[in-house]
Amino acid sequence: MLNYDIVVIGGGPAGMAAALKAKECGVDSILILERAETLGGILEQCIHTGFGLQYFGEELSGPEYADRFIQQVFRQKIEYKTDTMALQVTEDNKVYAVNKTDGLLEIQAKAVILAMGCRERPRGALNIAGTRASGVMSAGTAQKYVNIDGYMPGKKVVILGSGDIGLIMARRMTLEGAKVECVCELMPYSSGLTRNIVQCLDDFNIPLYLSTTVIDIKGKDRVTGVTIASVDENRRPIPGTERDIECDTLLLSVGLIPENELTKNVGISLDRVTSGAIVDEYRETDHKGVFACGNVLHVHDLVDFVTQESQIAGEGAAKYVLGQKAEAEYITTKGVGAVRYIVPQKVNIKNEGDVKLFFRVGSSFKNATVKVSYNGQEIISRKRPRLAPGEMENVLIKNDMLKSFSKDGVIEITVEA
Partner 1 sequence: MNYDVAVVGAGVVGSLIARELSRYNIKVALLEKCNDMAMGTSKANSAIVHAGFDAKPGTLKAKLNVEGTALMPELCKTLSVPFKPVGSLVVAFSDEEMETVKELLERGVANGVPGLEIYDQAKLREVEPAISDEAKGALWAPSAGIVCPYELTIAAAENAVVNGTEFIRNFAVEAIDYDGNEFTIKSADSSIKAKTVINAAGVYCDEIAALIGDNSIHTVPRKGEYMLCDKSIGGLAKHTIFQCPSKMGKGILVTPTVDGNLLIGPSALDIEDKDDVSTTAGTLAQVLETAKKSVPVLTTREVITSFAGLRAHCDRDDFIIEKSEKNDKFINVAGIESPGLSSAPAIALYVKDIVLGIIDGEEKADFNPVREEPVRFRHMSNEERKALIAKNPAYGRIICRCETITEGEILDAIHAPAGARDVDGVKRRTRAGMGRCQGGFCGSKVVELLARELGVEINQITKFGGDSKILYERTK
CB of 272 to partner 1, least distance (A): 11
CB of 368 to partner 1, least distance (A): 31
CB of 144 to partner 1, least distance (A): 5
CB of 12 to partner 1, least distance (A): 13
In the complex with partner 1, which residue's Cβ is closer, 146 or 331? 146
Q: Count CB-CB contacts under 10 A for residue 286.
A: 15
Q: Determine contact, residues 211/185, Cβ cutoff 8 Å.
A: yes
CB of 354 to partner 1, least distance (A): 37
Q: What DSSP string describes 71-107?
A: HHHHHTT-EEESS-EEEEE-TTSEEEEEETTTEEEEE
Q: What pairing do the DSSP bridges indicate for beta strands 346-348 and 330-335? A: antiparallel
In the complex with partner 1, which residue's Cβ is closer, 25 or 215? 215
In the complex with partner 1, which residue's Cβ is closer, 251 or 415? 251
In the complex with partner 1, which residue's Cβ is closer, 144 or 340? 144
In the complex with partner 1, which residue's Cβ is closer, 203 or 221? 221
Q: List Cα–Cα distances, 231 to 127, 243, 272, in angstroms.
A: 16, 12, 26
CB of 176 to partner 1, least distance (A): 5
In the complex with partner 1, which residue's Cβ is closer, 86 or 292? 86
Peptide bond into 344 cis (omega under 30): yes
Q: Taking the C-alpha atoms of 204, 208, 213 and 214 in order, what is their torsion angle to the nearest 10 degrees?
A: -20
Residue 227's SS3 state is strand
CB of 411 to partner 1, least distance (A): 30
Q: Determine contact, residues 81/34, Cβ cutoff 8 Å.
A: yes
Q: Which residues of 96-111 are buried (b: 16+ CB within 10 A; e: fewer)?
A: ebbbeeeeebebebbb
What is the rounded distance in angstroms from the CA atom of residue 58 to the CA atom of residue 157? 32
CB of 261 to partner 1, least distance (A): 8
In the complex with partner 1, which residue's Cβ is closer, 213 or 345? 213
**List of residues contacting partner 1 (CB under 8 A):** 35, 83, 85, 87, 96, 98-104, 106, 119-120, 122-125, 127, 129-135, 137-138, 140-141, 144-146, 149-155, 176-177, 215-218, 220-222, 237, 257, 259, 261
Query: Among residues 317, 280, 301, which one has the least CA distance to residue 115?
Result: 317
In the complex with partner 1, which residue's Cβ is closer, 45 or 414? 45
In the complex with partner 1, which residue's Cβ is closer, 114 or 368? 114
Query: Among residues 367, 395, 392, which one has the least CA distance to residue 380?
Result: 395
The three-state DSSP-derived secondary structure of 7-71 is EEECCCHHHHHHHHHHHHCCCCCEEEECCCCCCCHHHHHCCCEEECCCCCCCCEEHHHHHHHHHH
What is the rounded distance in angstroms from the CA atom of residue 234 to the CA atom of residue 31? 48
CB of 214 to partner 1, least distance (A): 11
